Amino acid sequence: MIAMAMTVYDGFPSLLFQPFVGAFFATVGVLAVLILGSPLFIPKLWIAWTKLWWISIVLAVISVFAMIISWFPGFRITVYDQELQRQVETFHPALSICGWFGMLFSLAWFPLLSLRNAIGLIKRTLKT
């Protein structure tokens, strides 16, 4: 968000609007990842997921790689910018967004540091 304000600063609206939009989309992304990962609360699935813990690391690496290659020249897309009245090259949105969601999922549901374990720890703490 800071980089965006530094590159396309158009006064007070960009300082006010961009952080709220970033926070909104980050919240929506985390909620989507929690909903998609909720079947992992089924005990048998969670046991299988913890036995295959390396899948989460592989997913995170692939996701970061997808976000990086989304900016490489072979993967960029061309869009029309209304303000500049010309075509501009930008990152590939599918690669970057899928990479971001994949990284969020792998971090949120990593077996050793997962939200499921944090919720269990909170419950055990509240019971004592």
Q: How confident is the model over 26-36, as a mean pLDDT?
A: 92
pLDDT tens digits, one per residue of 71-106: 888 888 888 878 778 888 888 889 999 999 999 999
Which secondary structure element, helix H or strand E, spans residue 106, and what is its range?
A: helix 93-108
Q: What tokens appear for 73 in the block?
A: 């020249």
C-alpha closest to that of 115 among 105, 127, 125: 105
Whether the predicted model's global pTM rises above the 0.75 cut: no
Domain boundaries, the chain: 2-127
